[in-house]
């Protein structure tokens, strides 16, 4: 058995020119963009002001992160149970329960086999909207199938003692099957009506890219189903010849984050190539462009599809990064610990090893901050606890469950001096 250690590491970033007093990057001068590195798509221009390189903002609340548990092997998904324990997936195929104090349980029994190659394996996990009555949990995974693999979603009853899942049902299987090891997606989120949104990648390889535009394929799509796997009657492509009825939207590359806004809007975040990570307001029936329209350049260099960044009938991203942050999961902040963050998007950053906080105003990004920069690990998924603290898992061989919270001493200035009070609006 692998050692799963409870860690008591507390990370508080030191005061320096590179990092602010609260463990987040210091904000640039007022109105200046947070990102200053050269863009890969140097000749590309945003479609509207503020679509990229938003002004830097800074949270004045003193905060610190604490490693609650370690020894997790490439954890991927994170979901909170009503009793305060966390469900955490590990990509090789294990699901564990972890207490808020860091006690790590044995792997939950009863999950189906996963194809844990490359980016594949056990992916996201979600607590069902009727968990209090039926104890159903949901998870996505790369399922081994004849001829290759594809993303699937299953559900099962978490036993009363939390040691196993029972009555497991596969409620969605993405098609077609493909023998590859990249771009499985996949993030899960329930809306207020109990619909389950599933995000999928287009499987990365050049022959698969066009399937993001093919309504006869699930690849490169956002999916919307009912909790039992059936198709909602009002899905946008129900009844259209040649279209798969589970599809909600198309033209995505590799979507690994989905979040439902307080007003019910669906937001997704996806990986670009060298440049072109993007946030989308993901609406029914719309086309988000990949691979016909994209920001950034190919990994090998050179333009993507001639460098086209806009086309009639193609939705523009609300926001994009170039260079990329390699986004993982995301969530809307609605807690009380950081009142100035309410309604902000929090996005896990893998490549840049931070949490991105995006300030939204009227559906546009008006500010960006980098949080938890002092941890120095790939942040894979994030969630907000009832007390308003932010929890995250890091995608590492020695992966960690981390809590980011306000620290003692209240608000602090850039020099670290305590301030008695601050208008919460200033936190934005």
354 is catalytic: no
Which residue spans within 18-160 are E strands per DSSP?
61-72, 75-80, 86-90, 94-98, 122-127, 136-145, 148-158
| Residue 4 tokens, joined | 């799963």
* Residues paired with 4 in a beta bridge: none
Residue 289 main-chain phi, psi, to 5 deg? 100, -35
| Residue 81 tokens, joined | 């149970």
* Residues paired with 217 in a beta bridge: none
Q: 265 preceded by cis ω (within 30°)? A: no
SS (H, E, C) 225-256: ECCCCCCCCCCCCCCCCCCCCCEEEECCCEEE
CB 234 within 8 A of CB 215: no
**Which residue out of 74, 183, 218, 252 is catalytically annotated?**
183
CB 353 within 8 A of CB 378: yes
Nearest to 222 by CA among 274, 320, 290: 290
Element (H, E) at 134: helix 131-134
State the DSSP code for 161: T
Q: How far apart are CA 55 and CA 24, in angstroms?
A: 15
Q: How far apart are CA 260 and CA 197, in angstroms?
A: 9
Q: Is the dihedral of CA 209, 213, 217, 223 positive or negative?
A: positive
State the DSSP code for 273: B
| Residue 330 tokens, joined | 């995301």
Q: How far apart are CA 40 and CA 295, in angstroms?
A: 9
Residues in the chain: 428
| Residue 406 tokens, joined | 């306000």
Q: Known catalytic residues?
A: 183
């Amino acid at each position: 058995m692998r050692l799963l250690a409870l860690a008591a590491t507390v990370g508080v970033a030191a005061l320096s020119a590179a990092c602010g007093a609260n463990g987040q990057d210091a904000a640039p001068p007022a109105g200046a963009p947070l990102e200053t590195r050269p863009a890969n798509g140097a000749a590309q221009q945003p479609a509207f002001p503020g679509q990229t390189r938003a002004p830097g903002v800074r949270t004045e609340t003193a905060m610190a992160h604490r490693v609650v548990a370690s020894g997790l092997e490439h954890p991927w998904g994170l979901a909170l149970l009503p009793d305060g324990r966390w469900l955490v997936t590990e990509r090789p195929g294990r699901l564990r329960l972890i207490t808020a104090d860091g006690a790590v349980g044995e792997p939950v029994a009863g999950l189906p086999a996963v194809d844990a190659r490359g980016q594949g394996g056990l992916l996201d996990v979600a607590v069902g909207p009727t968990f209090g009555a039926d104890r159903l949990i949901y998870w996505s995974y790369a399922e081994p199938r004849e001829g290759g693999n594809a993303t699937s979603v299953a559900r099962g009853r978490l036993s009363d003692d939390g040691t196993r899942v029972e009555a497991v049902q596969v409620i969605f299987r993405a098609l077609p099957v493909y023998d590859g090891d990249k771009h499985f997606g996949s993030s899960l989120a329930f809306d207020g009506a109990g619909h389950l949104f599933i995000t999928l990648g287009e499987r990365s390889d050049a022959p698969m890219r066009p399937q993001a535009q093919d309504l006869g394929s699930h690849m490169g799509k956002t999916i919307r189903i009912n909790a039992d796997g059936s198709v909602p009657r009002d899905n946008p492509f129900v009844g259209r010849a040649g279209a798969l009825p589970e599809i909600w939207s198309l033209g995505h590359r590799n979507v690994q984050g989905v979040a439902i806004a307080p007003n019910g809007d669906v937001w997704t975040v996806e990986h670009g190539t060298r440049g072109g990570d993007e946030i989308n307001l993901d609406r029914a029936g719309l086309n988000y462009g990949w691979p016909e329209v994209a920001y950034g350049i190919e990994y090998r260099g050179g333009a993507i599809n001639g460098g086209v960044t806009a086309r009639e009938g193609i939705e523009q991203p609300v926001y994009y990064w170039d260079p990329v942050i390699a986004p993982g999961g995301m969530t809307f902040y609605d807690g009380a610990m950081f009142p100035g963050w309410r309604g902000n998007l929090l996005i896990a950053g893998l490549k840049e090893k931070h949490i991105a906080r995006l300030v939204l105003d009227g559906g546009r990004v008006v500010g960006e901050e980098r949080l938890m920069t002092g941890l120095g690990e790939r942040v894979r998924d994030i969630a907000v606890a009832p007390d308003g603290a932010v929890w995250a898992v890091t995608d590492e061989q020695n992966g960690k469950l981390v809590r980011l919270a306000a620290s003692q001493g209240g608000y602090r200035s850039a020099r670290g001096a305590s301030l008695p009070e601050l208008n919460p609006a200033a936190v934005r």
